[in-house]
Structure 1
Amino acid sequence: MFEPEDAEPRAADAPGPRRGRRLLVLLAAAVALLIVTGIVADFWTDLLWFRSVGFTRVFRTQLLTKAGLFVAFALPVAAILAANITIAYRVRPPFRPRRDTTTEELWRMFEARRRLVTTGVAAGVGLLVGWVAAGEWRVFLQWHHGVRFGVTDPQFGLDVAFYAFGYPWWRFLLGAAFTTVLLAMLVALATHHLAGGLRFEGRPRLTSAAQAHMSLLIGLFVLLKAVAYWLDRYGLAISSDGVFPGWTGLKYTQANAVLPVKAIMASIAVICAGLFFVNVVRRSWLLPGIGIGLLLFSAVLIGGIYPVLVQQFYVRPAEADREAQFIARNIAATRQAYGVQDARIQNYDAVTDVEPGQLRADADTTASVRLLDPSVVSSTYQQLQQVRGFYAFADLLDVDRYLIDGRHQDTVVAVRELNLSGLGQGQRTWVNQHLRYTHGFGFVAARGNTRNPDGKPTFVESDIPPQGKLGKYEPRIYFGEQSPEYSVVGAPPGAAPQEIDYPDDTSPTGQRNNTYRGTGGVPVGSLGRRLLFSLRFGEEKILLSSAINAESRILYIRHPRERVAKVAPWLTLDSNAYPAVVGGRIVWIIDGYTTTNGFPYSTRVTLDEATADSLTSPERQVITPREEINYIRNSVKATVDAYDGTVTLYAWDDTDPVLRTWTRAFPGTVKPRSAIPPELLAHLRYPEDLFKVQREILARYHVTDPQAFYGGQDFWRIPDDPTEGSGHRGRQPAFYLTLRMPDQPRPTFSLSTTFVPANRPNLAAFMAVDAEPGEDYGTIRVLQLPRTTAIPGPGQVQNNFNSDSRVAQIINLLRRGESDVVYGNLLTLPVGGGLLYVEPIYVKARSGTSYPLLQKVLVGFGDRIAFENTLQEALDAVFQGRAGTTTGEAPATPPGGQPASGDLNQALADARKALADAERARVAGDWAAYGEAQRRLAEAIERATAAQQGSQPSPAPTP
């Protein structure tokens, strides 16, 4: 009559497992709710962002296309899988043989929940396939809206649009069909096995109904294989066989062996598929087995061995002759696809001898030589123009041109951006980082061809508030390359400004505050939107902060390239966005490329490899760094307003069929070229990454004779960067500078590079492209040097500079004490009938707060070298005392206007004293005194060198 002592506790614990299951269900529901909420928040804030920039059509088109593809693939796949499971179940044998316990248990579970399992499997796989299909929205839109190139491939006579737009889509459809049939076969086999229609007793056995079912599915699979064989024929025009790395298109073996084999294999596959379809009725594996055997035998013998025999025993013994026709196709297609078919290549018999007045005809070019190296002077800008620690400049500055004092001049430009890492630890609160420190301030520009007497840049626009020659403009940088992830700005009229604007010694607080009045960003005053953005950024303070008001706006996705990439996801963007003052605003200019990997016969390049050089950094790499292409056009010029974030796309190459295709897919998003304002046009330039890709191509494809191309004896390569200014090794960068090529009437803002032979260090060619919008914009000119003349290449010239005894002595003196020497960019210019090398030399302190100052200039022409205080002095020294040109630099005279002393000991003593004075000034932070000491050091070194050589020194510059 009494229960055991543990009976009641067991009764009390009985609900425990149920409570555990409920807890797990609640936990899973909470996690699912969080995921769904996050997805909704990201989706809705993305929609708000697209509305704020006026590109809602892009968002809508992407969304509808993805949704349409998802449904169009998910539903048929799910239906096909469900149908095959149902068919396999309905044709199950009425009497099932005895089977193992596990299989019986699985069958009972399946039969009890057949509809649920069928729906679950079909829906799960369908959702997965639909998700993959939605990711192919770009491929679909290009196929759906594709326009003709007007160029046909030489083998099949099809327009290039078929390969660029159509072929990828048909390949995707075929792959989806293969996947669907294969999945249908798997679920059908699994169902037949559970239902008893497939037994494994010694060898697999199928019932008659199951055999008919599987014969139909296998027949469909083999029929799709026949379609694949036929489609492969066209794929040969854009595939690479590895014989010539990077090449696409048919070679001799593909055209004469593989192409007919593909047609034969397609026919055999159709026959084999027909035998399987017959087996649906006949239900014997004999004929289908013979068909599969024939298909496999043909694939090995005809598809595999025969092409290898043709290549090995017919093509390879006379490969140059056999492949000549196809090499010619590759050369023509590659030059056309990369836009270098009209490159002007001319022989240039460069002289190495010098004589007085030799540069007279090139006075304009030498006067424009850019001495300021944008890869070196960033820290100089930082020290001289940073103003406060929460401002920063880019590590690599940009080169542009401005109309200054009535003349267009090359300038090195940068913007003073906000740098939150410069805040002290106590200042890094959420309010400071997102509500108060919201923007950078100001534009800085310096002449590229001059310097101050102490080696500092000659600024034409500087300081806070901005002072200079660029006129009035909005200086605030709310959208930039270093902007915070998000900032909340704006306040009601009359409210006290809360944003830190800029330092101001006249203000009682030492700063000026500002309230954002622009139209950029998204209004975030309502509770609902604050909740959405709290979820997006994972920050509850957005929801709770009382500082956010009805007029507040949130700025996000602020990097110029990210903004352009989001509104134009079909563009590949140049790695460098550069700032310019245009129409009273600072705007970022970004070059956009349209590319494809489907141009028949054109050689492929990988963008990150083709654009890499000694200055490349991850921040300046293209957005899709591993993207392979074999066609590229600079089809779009994009701008981003630094104040309100407005994104504008302008068609630059409106004849490009890829651009025309995308503008049909996204109508109204790209403005015509005629809409580019003249003040913006003046700052557009030929893009760096395109030029780097083109020089990579022209290093080989300047050779147009198939036999010579096959031999490869005349191929070039881009030389390594011989200077130390970049901090690491790599290929020499391309340089923006103003120069005049031999066939040009006047100097032009250009982008230039050099080539050396593939296996030698001497100069092979010099290449420049007109980078300034105008009639000759984009014209590529190549000066090809005589193959028998050993003109020094960049590496050899740098070696000559370093090994020159006088140069080495001065460099050693400059490096004494706490100073170090930085080599600037080694520029090459075609002047005086030869090639002139110019390299600026900077001096900076080795420790503490330091920045490089331009102190000397190295010049080389032929075998003659000069190392002087100014470019003018160096040119005159090389060209026997009178170069015949004026660089615009002020004449250098020693203090007091007296000749410098020739006494070596006194000069060395003066140099040591100058070094000591420079170090004391550096420690004290007196940069004016530091610059003066550096000037005296350079002057003393000049006197010491002249005294040692027993000649009158070139006078040093006066402050």
Structure 2
Amino acid sequence: MTIGVLAALVIMFFIFAGLATDYLWYQQLGFTRVIVTQWITGTALFFIGFLGMAVPVYVSIDIAFRFRPVYAKLNSQLDRYQQVIEPLRRTVMLGIPIVLGLFGGIATSSHWSMILQWLNRTPFHKVDPQFHLDIGFYVFSLPFYQGLVGFSSAVVLLSAIAALATSYLYGALRFSGREVRISRVARIQIAVTAAVYIGLQAISLWLDQYATLTDGSNKLLTGATYTDVVAGIPAKQILAYAAAVVAILFIVTAVIGRWRLPIIGTALLIVISLVIGAIYPWIVQRFTVDPSAKSVESSYIEKNIKATRTAYGVSSVKETNYDAKSTASKGALANDATTTENIRIIDPSLVTDAFAQLQQYRQYYAFPDQLDVDRYKIDGKVQDVVIAVRELNQSGLGSSNNPYNSTFVYTHGYGVVAAYGNQRSADGQPVFLESGIPVKGSLGTSKNFEPRIYFGEQGPQYSIVGGNGLNKVELDYPSGNDDNGNNATTTYSGDGGPKLNNTFKKLIYAIKFQSEQIFLSDAVNSKSQILYDRDPSTRVQKVAPYLTLDSDPYPAVVNGRVVWIVDGYTTTDQYPYSAQRSLSTSIADANKAAPAYATDQINYIRNSVKATVDAYSGKVTLYSWDKTDPILQTWQKVFPSTVKPMADMSGTLLSHVRYPEDLFKMQREILGTYHVTDPGSFYNGDDAWTTPNEPTKTSGDTSLQPPYYLTMKLPDQNAAFQLYSTYIPQQTNESNPRNVLTGYLAANSDAGDTKGSISKNYGKLTLLTLPKTDNVPGPGQVQANFNADSTVANVLNILARGDTQVKRGNLLTLPVGGGLLYVQPVYVQSTSDTSYPILQKILVSFGDRIAFEDTLKEALDDLFGGDSGATTGDAGVGTGTSTGEARAPERAREPERGLEPARAQAQARAPDRERARRPRVLL
């Protein structure tokens, strides 16, 4: 007994320690209301579910036992059962309800989110086209009512089973051949229980008619079809009434003691359900719908199109016919200077190694595999930049990775590295506008810029920082010749984590992280702070559990601070008539694997919240971005004062807000089919589009081409920072695919300027639709043309020999010159361990022409007859050594030396461009 009590106390203390650390974490961030609300709601629902399950089951068992026949004649088998159970009867009578109650309580408490939404529901002020009920009923109320009926049905069914078992065990229910004998009390109990259960099924059937509008099982559309409206919904209504009548018949049986009526009623209910619930809908579908499906389903397809476009926020997309030219003429790009001078030739998915070799400095720093694209105002002009944070990577410490160093010394990363997106140095390196340790550049300096990165995507599990400041043990940045040299140290002065200012806090955190150092080390004092849950997405998800987060938080320098910007979505799968899509599948592409989501199938999405996480202090700020969203309004009632209005955003922060990728990918997935608004054409599927596969991947790789951020000018619009993607026809013949361009989708990503003015065009979707008679090559076909060109292939094959390899950068598509221009940077990299990709050549294509030159300007001029009229940022003249490149090892430049033999061979084999009209190849 003593050991059991002690074990229980230890377990309870561990549970308490976990709850206490959670509370301290939320308290430090100022979001205590969030965790307390969840705890109170979850606890209340647990007891409601526990009592709602345990009490009816116990009462059912108790009634069956209490009113058992005292002198019932039992067979020998039942008598033996009673003898076995009798010593444990009280335990069983209490134990079964308690165990079932625990399951009921846990199941109920896990639905705290649904309950809170129902209690604080907000109308959409839009009605569905079938029942004319507010959309909020389907999003907030219907799931709650269905869940309540489902839980109640489970309780009643378990109670009935318990009553039947007890009645049978104690003789109230006996079977003698074909005869069934039942006592009066047992009859009443079973009949009433059956009536309640059938009554609940009547309610469930009635609710099912509304659920038809969100049913996605039909291959044609989500929502009620002709068969559902004509046969399915009326059938559910009739069955609901019939079930209610059967429930009344069971009540009659409880009073008069005759089972014939409810048995006949139940049999008739089964027959009716088969006839009008299955056979009649089949007849309607087979003989009315199938022969004339296109016309019969037309109005329902129209409802589906309208609801889907509204739910995914694409109803206002601006569609423009774009008759793309295919002939490259002189001066054709003169009117597209803004676009051409901002063409990004630095591929953020390829230059990570270059950033690492030139700017990592130590193995305990790291950059992400995929860098981010943003824009900054440099010398009065907005520039697209490729940006990354130099984060801490403790796995690179090697033998120095001991508990003390990993907890107290190596605690943070340092600085931001940014390169011009449209420039490269003469030797093919990125041209940095922010780099170095200590930081230098245009985005911030050591005097007015906080470069330390305590919160990021690659940080350690936890660090203990701060202290009394007398003994600076945290490594700030390496300033000596080696790791043991005169490195700069610091003491954290922010407010980023709970303070370890008493023995209790040290103890509970030592338990949480299973580390005795937290409790015993003399490096922990009353001013120490423990930093954990440091990933920006993790922090935002914990303070806003109702959000689905974008999979790509990105860093920005805002008012001298590095902040992570995280986009948050409100989603549901209960929007009537809206098509359901898999969120994880829709956002997966060549640069991003499919993440896992708790709710993956959705049919409504809004970018309702923009969140920021300070990289130094860890402070989380939520901004209401779509204040009209009813789901966000509902959660603001649940967690008041946790989301700030958009007006509180600073102008600098607003200038770095961009249209989120995951939302854009969902919308491009929807518009691939739902750009068609004519029901007949939609049914035929003759104009369905899809996103092309990533053209630089191997033929067997079906990963999609990702969207790209670029500053450009769309036809009849002002220049803006855009997120774009392309479309090709949906492939119905895999043996002969058509890789021609059918559409070009762009989203305006300029939210505002540094003065705080909000752009009215932010989020504006533009869809350029190409004529069906045009055969403008798509990305896959252009890449194939590049690869098949004998001159280009010859040179690339030469470059790929020996100790170098060729890497093709992102293939960009730009609507300029009245047509579509393709631009692809070509990198060369040595196979040595310390090498990195060097940008050497630029491939461009317009119509059926190709050019292949050292710089973008040369390539465009060559492509457009010697004078494109374009202004470009890539002249290949930057030094590339003013901001840290000079510190890179000389062996990192081996790819350049390895190209010397290829240069001579390429020049010897280059054909006469004017004669052959082939691209000029100069290495």
TM over 0.5: yes
In structure 1, what is the Cα distance between the partners aligned to 2:409 and 2:228? 66
2:742 is aligned to: 764
Q: What are the equivalent positions in structure 2 for 1:579-594 lying under 5 Å apart?
A: 579-594=555-570
| Between 753-762 and 683-692, the greater mean CA deviation after superposition | 753-762
| Between 82-91 and 409-418, the greater mean CA deviation after superposition | 82-91
1:926 is aligned to: 890
Deviation sequence 1:290-339 (CA, Å, 0-9, x none): 01101111111111111011101111100000000000000000000000
Q: CA deviation at 1:533?
A: 0.8
In structure 2, what is the Cα distance between the partners aligned to 1:762 and 1:372? 26
Any idea what SS the aligned residue of 1:413 has? strand
In structure 1, what is the Cα distance between the partners aligned to 2:740 and 2:402? 57
Q: CA deviation at 1:852?
A: 0.6
Matching residue within 184, 194, 197 for 1:218: 194
The question of 1:42 aligning with 2:18 is answered yes
2:875 is aligned to: 890
1:3 is aligned to: none
The question of 1:816 aligning with 2:790 is answered no
* Contact kept in structure 2, 1:942 and 1:953, CA below 8 Å: no
The question of 1:702 aligning with 2:675 is answered yes
The question of 1:857 aligning with 2:829 is answered no
Which sections of structure 1, spanning at least 5 residues, go unmatched? Answer: 1-24, 894-923
Any idea what SS the aligned residue of 2:694 has? coil
Letter paired with 2:811: L
Deviation sequence 1:753-800 (CA, Å, 0-9, x none): 000011221111111110111121011111111101111011100000
Rate the CA distance shift 1:726–1:274 in 2: closer, same or farther, 3 A.
same
The question of 1:715 aligning with 2:688 is answered yes
In structure 2, what is the Cα distance between the partners aligned to 1:141 and 1:351? 56
Q: CA deviation at 1:240?
A: 2.5
Q: What are the equivalent positions in structure 2 for 1:266-305 lying under 5 Å apart?
A: 266-305=240-279
1:899 is aligned to: none
1:427 is aligned to: 400
In structure 2, what is the Cα distance between the partners aligned to 1:549 and 1:726? 59
Deviation sequence 1:38-75 (CA, Å, 0-9, x none): 22111110000000100001011111111121222322
Letter paired with 2:615: A
TM-score by length of 2: 0.94
Rate the CA distance shift 1:955–1:319 in 2: closer, same or farther, 3 A.
closer
2:235 is aligned to: 261
Q: CA deviation at 1:283?
A: 1.6
Rate the CA distance shift 1:925–1:888 in 2: closer, same or farther, 3 A.
closer
* Contact kept in structure 1, 2:607 and 2:625, CA below 8 Å: yes
Deviation sequence 1:799-836 (CA, Å, 0-9, x none): 00001111011101211220000010000000000000
In structure 2, what is the Cα distance between the partners aligned to 1:106 and 1:45? 50
In structure 2, what is the Cα distance between the partners aligned to 1:751 and 1:937? 40
The question of 1:445 aligning with 2:421 is answered no
Aligned residue pairs: how many?
Answer: 895
Matching residue within 548, 557, 560 for 2:524: 548
Q: CA deviation at 1:850?
A: 1.9
In structure 2, what is the Cα distance between the partners aligned to 1:366 and 1:942? 28
In structure 2, what is the Cα distance between the partners aligned to 1:562 and 1:812? 45
In structure 1, what is the Cα distance between the partners aligned to 2:116 and 2:866? 66
Q: CA deviation at 1:928?
A: 6.7
The question of 1:521 aligning with 2:497 is answered yes
The question of 1:944 aligning with 2:908 is answered yes
Deviation sequence 1:180-202 (CA, Å, 0-9, x none): 10011011112112221122443
* Contact kept in structure 1, 2:216 and 2:580, CA below 8 Å: no
2:883 is aligned to: none
The question of 1:158 aligning with 2:143 is answered no
The question of 1:323 aligning with 2:297 is answered yes
In structure 1, what is the Cα distance between the partners aligned to 2:200 and 2:876? 80
Any idea what SS the aligned residue of 1:349 has? coil
Identity of aligned residues (%): 47
The question of 1:784 aligning with 2:769 is answered yes
* Contact kept in structure 2, 1:455 and 1:931, CA below 8 Å: no
* Contact kept in structure 2, 1:413 and 1:443, CA below 8 Å: yes
Any idea what SS the aligned residue of 1:834 has? coil
1:909 is aligned to: none
In structure 2, what is the Cα distance between the partners aligned to 1:871 and 1:937? 24
Rate the CA distance shift 1:763–1:85 in 2: closer, same or farther, 3 A.
same
Letter paired with 1:828: T
Letter paired with 2:184: S
Matching residue within 426, 437, 443 for 1:470: 443
Any idea what SS the aligned residue of 2:555 has? strand
In structure 2, what is the Cα distance between the partners aligned to 1:554 and 1:303? 61
Rate the CA distance shift 1:954–1:314 in 2: closer, same or farther, 3 A.
closer
Deviation sequence 1:856-879 (CA, Å, 0-9, x none): 000000000001111001101100
Q: What are the equivalent positions in structure 2 for 1:422-821 lying under 5 Å apart?
A: 422-424=396-398, 426-472=399-445, 473-493=449-469, 495-505=470-480, 509-617=485-593, 621=595, 624=597, 627-724=600-697, 729-745=702-718, 747-759=719-731, 760-773=738-751, 774-821=759-806
* Contact kept in structure 1, 2:740 and 2:781, CA below 8 Å: yes
Letter paired with 1:737: L
Deviation sequence 1:109-143 (CA, Å, 0-9, x none): 55455444323222221222111111111101111
Which sections of structure 2, spanning at least 5 residues, go unmatched? Answer: 732-737, 752-758, 879-887
Deviation sequence 1:366-387 (CA, Å, 0-9, x none): 1100011111111111111110
In structure 2, what is the Cα distance between the partners aligned to 1:377 and 1:625? 33
Rate the CA distance shift 1:544–1:191 in 2: closer, same or farther, 3 A.
same
Any idea what SS the aligned residue of 2:300 has? helix
* Contact kept in structure 2, 1:436 and 1:500, CA below 8 Å: yes
Q: Report the RMSD for the aligned CA atoms in angstroms.
A: 2.2
Matching residue within 127, 145, 159 for 1:170: 145
CA radius of gyration, larger in: 1
Q: CA deviation at 1:567?
A: 0.2
* Contact kept in structure 2, 1:725 and 1:823, CA below 8 Å: no
* Contact kept in structure 2, 1:487 and 1:555, CA below 8 Å: yes
Letter paired with 2:355: Y
Rate the CA distance shift 1:167–1:928 in 2: closer, same or farther, 3 A.
closer
2:754 is aligned to: none
Q: CA deviation at 1:488?
A: 0.8
Any idea what SS the aligned residue of 2:26 has? helix
| Between 368-377 and 943-952, the greater mean CA deviation after superposition | 943-952
Letter paired with 1:753: S
* Contact kept in structure 2, 1:334 and 1:602, CA below 8 Å: yes
Any idea what SS the aligned residue of 2:644 has? coil
Letter paired with 2:143: P
Letter paired with 1:812: N
* Contact kept in structure 2, 1:398 and 1:412, CA below 8 Å: yes
The question of 1:357 aligning with 2:321 is answered no
Q: CA deviation at 1:505?
A: 2.3
2:157 is aligned to: 182
TM-score by length of 1: 0.90
The question of 1:51 aligning with 2:56 is answered no
Any idea what SS the aligned residue of 2:815 has? strand
Q: CA deviation at 1:701?
A: 0.4
Q: CA deviation at 1:890?
A: 3.1
Any idea what SS the aligned residue of 1:522 has? coil
Rate the CA distance shift 1:727–1:430 in 2: closer, same or farther, 3 A.
farther
